[in-house]
Structure 1
Amino acid sequence: MPRLVDPEARRATINAAVVDIVGESGFAAATMRAVADRIGASTSAVTHYVESRDDLLRVAVRGEVNRRISEADEVIGGRSGAEGLRALLDWALIGRSQTAHRFWLAAIVAAADQAVVATELARFNEWWSARVRGFLADTAVRDVDASADLIGVLVDGLIINGFYGDAPATSARRAQILDLVWSALDL
Structure 2
Amino acid sequence: MPKVVDHEARREELAGAVWRVALREGFSAVSVRTVAREAGWSPGALRHYFPTSDAMIAFAVERAVCQVRQRFDALDATRGGAITEATPVEILEQLLPLDANRRIESEAWLALVSNAHIGAELRKQRREVDGLIRYVVQTVIRQLDDLGRLAAHRDPDLETGRLHALLDGLVVQGIADPPGITPTDIRAVLRQHVDDLAR
TM over 0.5: yes
Distance 1:82 1:120, change over 3 A: farther
| More deviation, 3-12/171-180 | 3-12
Residues matched between the structures, number: 182
The answer on whether the counterparts of 1:57 and 1:116 sit within 8 Å (CA) in structure 2 is no
Structure 1 regions of 5+ residues with no counterpart?
none
Residue of structure 2 in register with 1:99 after alignment? 104
Q: How far did 1:181 drift?
A: 0.6
Deviations 1:10-53 (A, max 9, x none): 21222233454594327xx633x4432332211343244x2632
- Scaled by the length of structure 1, what TM-score is found? 0.75
Residue of structure 2 in register with 1:67 after alignment? 67
Q: In percent, how many aligned pairs have the same letter?
A: 24
Distance 1:71 1:176, change over 3 A: same
The answer on whether the counterparts of 1:23 and 1:103 sit within 8 Å (CA) in structure 2 is no
The answer on whether the counterparts of 1:93 and 1:155 sit within 8 Å (CA) in structure 2 is yes
1:1-187 aligned at under 5 Å gives the runs 7-19=7-19, 20=21, 23-25=26-28, 30-31=31-32, 33-48=33-48, 50=49, 52-53=51-52, 54-77=54-77, 78-80=81-83, 83-93=86-96, 95-97=98-100, 98-138=103-143, 139=145, 140=148, 141=150, 142-165=154-177, 168-186=180-198
Distance 1:117 1:8, change over 3 A: same
| More deviation, 52-61/127-136 | 52-61
| More deviation, 106-115/160-169 | 160-169
Deviations 1:72-99 (A, max 9, x none): 3322442448654222112223644333
**What SS does the aligned partner of 2:94 have?**
helix
User: Could you tell me how far apart the structure 1 residues matched to 2:9 and 2:61 are?
Assistant: 17
User: Could you tell me how far apart the structure 2 residues matched to 1:174 and 1:46 are?
Assistant: 37
| RMSD of equivalent CA atoms | 3.3
Distance 1:24 1:167, change over 3 A: closer
One-letter identity of the residue aligned with 1:73: D
